[in-house]
Amino acid sequence: MPNRKKTKKVMTVEEILAHVRPTPMVETGLGSKEKIEIIAQKFTEIMQVLGMDLSNDSLQETPHRIAKMYVNEVFSGLNPENFPKMTVIENEMEYDQMVSVQGIQVLSVCEHHFQTIHGVATVAYIPSKTVIGLSKINRIVQYFGRRPQVQERLTKQIADCLQYVLKTEHVAVHINAKHYCVIARGVQDAGSSTATSDLRGHFKSKAETRTEFLKHCAMQFS
């Protein structure tokens, strides 16, 4: 077999995100510092309405802490600048079997009540002409999780992104997560979890590929 030079292709964030179903958003024109300042002001008002004493040493900085947490951490996936650098390399080994990453931590926030979503994901693909560094799959999950979300959209955003980046039809995403809007309010059921899947290409059309993937999903709970 002739030697082939390993090549890397770097894609722009705009190019990738244009092929991912969007989170409902509007352009505010605000930078991170401005967002933190405004959110801190608004959260001060919320705490005052609740009757919290903001002169207390323990509470004085809470609005600012929450604002920084929202912008820089919990909702950092709303900022395209935080999208991980995506590079793919030529599939020079001509690998044509499943690549699966199990037990990826999912941390997000329910957009209906702003309560935590916490779970695990299994993500798999069958390479075509390119492959991706394994940590990039974790970072894709993390990026789209760091938004106000519904689990169904999160599942599809991960699949959309991976399918476009790798130029393969054969992608699968499974998420099993607990929703604190179910645990901490409403029905207050701490025992249930929610599972979502997006199976594409052979993962959907071929029973043996689907079965193999679902076994990988079960492995993370064994």
Q: Which residues are catalytic?
A: 110-113, 151, 179, 181
Residue pair 220/120 in contact (Cβ under 8 Å)? The answer is yes
Label residue 116 exposed, middle or buried (CB < 10 Å: 0-12, 13-18, 19+).
middle
Query: What is the DSSP pairing of strand 116-125 with strand 171-179?
Result: antiparallel
Question: CB-side exposure of 64: number of CA atoms within 13 Å?
Answer: 6
Which has the closest alpha carbon to 63: 87, 44, 38, 84? Answer: 44
Residue pair 123/158 in contact (Cβ under 8 Å)? The answer is yes
Evaluated on CA atoms 155, 157, 160, 165, the torsion sign reads negative
